[in-house]
Structure 1
Amino acid sequence: MNSCLRASAPLRLSCLILVFGLAACGSTGPALVPAPSAAPSAVDGPSAAASASPAATCGVFPADSIWRAEVSKLPLHRSSAAYVDSIGATRRMHPDFGEGLWDGAPIGIPVTTVKPGQKTVKVSFEYAGESDKGPYPIPADAKVEGGRGSDGDRHVIVYDPAACKVYELYAAYPAGSGWKAGSGAIFDLRSNKLRPAGWTSADAAGLSIFAGLVRYEEVAAGRITHALRITVPRSRDA
């Protein structure tokens, strides 16, 4: 994935931008979006079958969250044009969601849905000072971004619809009966509370990854009511 540097955390080169409106989405490379008949739920994992539409059970952040703000009511930043030009005003987006493989690795960021009472495990962090201690209900077979053999960002996203929480790890690797990770964050999906200023999360932006993903049930419903997460090759070091 394309990436950018966060000033206070050398742990990785990654950043997040919220896109409040997408008129079109395409790619200059091979298509990564599967045919509708082949598309599975984007919320996947050992117990996904137990919650066919988890977003209907627990909303992803409150209705008044900035993630759900209507773009027409938001002020335009004075540097908006400069930001867009820096990203590439004429560049096309490269979608990274769906199912299947690209260069032998799974596409997109998978989400593992867990049942109530999922056993919690110990997670040790390289950047413990900016990580939530837990506990983390991460199953041994949780899905890893890029697959178990990935050398990329290796995000692990665990969604607990019963508790209405999401648990997110960066650079996650199984370690004994638990996991080790670069950093980790826990988000209460019923709250608009932000992380401490300057803190990372499982993403350099300090925000939830899960909140900005496109989920199958949204596509099936024909309506996405939140901002989307994208990565860019260059952004502000701020």
Structure 2
Amino acid sequence: MTHKPDPKHALPHWQSQRRLALAAVPALLLSACGGGGGGSPAPSPEDANKLRNPSGTGGGSTPTPTPTPTGSTPLGSTPVYANLRGASLGVGASLNGAIPFPADNAWNTDISALPVDPNSAKLIASIGTGTGLHADFGAGLYDGSPIGIPYLVVSGSEARLPINYTAYGDESDPGPFPIPLSAPIEGGAQSSGDRHVLVIDRDNNRLYEIGNAYPQASGWDASGGALFHLDSNTVRPGGQPGWTSADAAGLPIFPGLARYDEAMLGAGGIRHALRFTVARTRRAYVPPATHFASSNTSADLPPMGMRVRLKASYQIPASFSTETKALLQAMKTYGLILADNGSNWFVSGAPDDRWNNDRLSSELRQVTGSQFEVVRMDGLVVG
């Protein structure tokens, strides 16, 4: 089915001030319904680290460090799908081997042997064959806020607070949500950007995501939000085709984040697809996405939900760090899923003081668009 144009999506919303590069893209783009993509004016983790640590050494030390993630139990040899009850509690907490959604969910499916899309070359060219990957996450602080999209794991007893939707209530799941007023906000409390808040209720296997979120006296104001069931392939029972979420593609954000506790295990440690952004998208989406955020109808531009993977011929350098090897192997096995308008080849992740910003940035930029291909797109919905 097609999704009818919705005038409200022409309104500027949830678009980070860190992504001013989008201002150079004409009205071919509509504003994202979510974000976290990061933009060219935002410093790379390497540059941000040098601002904090002029010597250029270290991976993210800072006089005022972000909270150390709680829980550091390494992943077991056998992942636990669709059951997060073993996760630790707190900001950036380890899932201790748990993976959101069942093993056969789109996020967790091995796509390394699927057919290549017939228009792959043109789609990749539109993103940039010579542009390298960029880690839109890292260690330490930049302008007083963590680099990346933070998250919080709570127990099933967390108090539920009302959510007042200010823009997209008709496409949002109603509250109350178990999101404490102290939950970390993307970009920090003073941010004027996307301000995503992600909270996982580990005991009930639920994920709550809101965007443009502002804590109030007894609850939250947010442009919109969504509730996802992490223990089912009916990912969002209350959602509808064509609906946005806290992300432009209508997807959950958290399952696509690069997290250190998985990456530290090296190749094979990350057992799910990763989230990424591009500057120009098409007025279309492909499952698992449910929403588009563009007015451009060119078939040579990527639709939301498009999945790319590193080519089988690409050899991950043995000299790369354990964490980079994990990220690249995940891109070979599970791929990258297009989730939002943002800067080209920006890969999303959670802040963690254990990332080595300099090394991560240096290694990922060596992997360019020319080394990717588009997985065949089935079920495309054109607006």
Q: CA separation in 2, counterparts of 1:201 and 1:55?
A: 27
Q: Which residue of 2 aligns with 1:205?
A: 249
**Which residue identity lines up with residue 89 of structure 1 in the other structure?**
T
Output the CA distance in 1 between the equivalents of 2:45 and 2:219.
40
* Structure-1 residue corresponding to 2:32: 14
Residue 95 of structure 1: which of 135, 148, 154 is its match?
135
Which residue is equivalent to 1:19? none
For the structure 1 residues 32 and 72, does the alpha-carbon distance in structure 2 shift closer, same or farther, using more than 3 Å as the test?
Answer: farther
The 3 A distance-change label for structure 1 pair 233 and 147 is same
- 1:204-231 per-position Cα deviation (integer Å, ceiling 9, x unaligned): 1000000100122212332111111112
Contact 2:70 2:89 in 1 (8 A): no
AA matched with 1:144: I
- Tell which deviates more after alignment, 189-198 or 62-71: 189-198
C-alpha displacement at 1:149, in angstroms? 0.3
Question: Any residues of structure 2 matched to 1:88-237 within 5 Å, and which?
Answer: 88-125=128-165, 126-194=167-235, 195-222=239-266, 223-237=269-283
Q: Secondary structure at the match of 1:206?
A: coil
Q: Are 2:173 and 2:226, in contact at CA under 8 Å, matched by a contact in 1?
A: yes
Change (3 A) 1:123 1:52: closer
The 5-angstrom pairing of residues 55-70 of structure 1 reads 55-56=96-97, 58-70=98-110
Equivalent position amino acid for 1:35 in 2: G
How many Å separate the matches in 2 of 1:136 and 1:55? 24
Q: Output the CA distance in 2 between the equivalents of 1:201 and 1:167.
A: 10
- How far apart in 1 are the matches of 2:147 and 2:157? 29
Please tell me whether Structure 1 or Structure 2 has the larger radius of gyration of its CA atoms: 2
Shift of 1:54: 2.4
Match of 1:35 in 2: 59
**Number of residue-to-residue matches in the alignment:** 219
Q: 1:105 to 1:69 in 2, by over 3 A?
A: same
Q: Distance in 1 between matches of 2:107 and 2:250?
A: 14
Q: CA RMSD in A?
A: 3.0
Tell which deviates more after alignment, 113-122 or 92-101: 92-101
Which ranges in structure 2 are unaligned for 5 or more consecutive residues? 15-30, 35-43, 51-57, 72-87, 285-383
State the shift of 1:148 in Å. Answer: 0.3
Q: Percent identical across equivalent pairs?
A: 44
Task: Provide the residue aligned with 2:334 in structure 1.
Answer: none
Give the aligned residue type for 2:69: S
Out of 54, 79, 90, the position equivalent to 1:48 is 90
| C-alpha deviation, 1:78, in angstroms | 2.3
Aligned in 2, Cα 1:15/1:124: closer, same or farther, shift over 3 Å? closer
**Equivalent-residue separation in structure 1 for 2:33 and 2:211 (angstroms):** 13
Partner AA of 2:32 in structure 1 = S
Q: 1:180 to 1:63 in 2, by over 3 A?
A: same
Between 1 and 2, higher relative CO (CA 8 Å, sep ≥ 6) is seen in 1
SS at match of 1:169: strand
Query: 1:74 deviation in Å?
Result: 2.3
Q: Identify unmatched segments of 5+ residues in structure 1.
A: 1-6, 17-26
Letter in 2 for 1:87: I
CA deviations over 1:88-118 (Å, ceiling 9, x no partner): 1110122122331224432100001112210
Distance 1:77 1:15, change over 3 A: farther
Query: Matches of 2:140 and 2:234 in 1, distance apart?
Result: 35
Whole-Å separation in 2 of the counterparts to 1:63 and 1:106? 31
Query: One-letter code of the match for 1:14?
Result: A
Q: CA deviation at 1:47?
A: 4.2
Flag the 1:99–1:29 CA change in 2: closer, same or farther, 3 A: closer
**Equivalent residue of 2:149, what SS?**
coil
Q: Provide the TM-score with structure 2 as the length reference.
A: 0.52
SS at match of 1:86: helix
Give the structure 2 partner of residue 4 of structure 1. none
Q: What is the letter of the counterpart of residue 223 of structure 2?
A: G
Q: Residue 72 of structure 1 is aligned with which of 86, 108, 112?
A: 112
SS in 2 for 1:186: strand
Counterparts of 1:191 and 1:185, CA distance in 2: 15
CA contact (8 A) 1:121 1:178 kept: yes
